[in-house]
Amino acid sequence: DIQMTHSPSSVSASVGDRVTITCRASQDISSYLAWYQQNLGKAPKLLIYATSSLQSGVPSRFSGSGSGTDFTLTISSLQPEDFATYYCQQANSFPLTFGGGTKVEI
């Protein structure tokens, strides 16, 4: 199975900050990676798929990059509603796997 590892596991930031989250796959997953945002008590929300494609309706301050085993999610200017937990997910092979998440907090 492909293991997905987030770093850091949590990050403290302020409104307006630029935040970068990293996800590493245990083997090459090409560009088959998605990012999800989950606010407390809510269902996850797809932000980015195929490494860098922005899901419809997602603000452009979110962006993704990477390939192979190393991927990043960047929030260019953190907004109050962005304080949440972010998960990466590989779609290269079954079983599909999620990372353990990165919590973005104040």
Which residues here bind other proteins, judged by CB under 8 A? 1, 32, 34, 36, 38, 43-46, 49-50, 55, 87, 89, 91-92, 94-101
Cβ nearer to other proteins, comparing 20 with 31: 31
CB of 83 to other proteins, least distance (A): 17
Cβ nearer to other proteins, comparing 17 with 72: 72
Cβ nearer to other proteins, comparing 32 with 82: 32
CB of 20 to other proteins, least distance (A): 20
3-state secondary structure the chain: CCCEEEECCEEECCCCCCEEEEEEECCCCCCCEEEEEECCCCCCEEEEECCCEECCCCCCCEEEEEECCEEEEEECCCCHHHCCEEEEEECCCCCCEECCCEEEEC
Cβ nearer to other proteins, comparing 69 with 97: 97
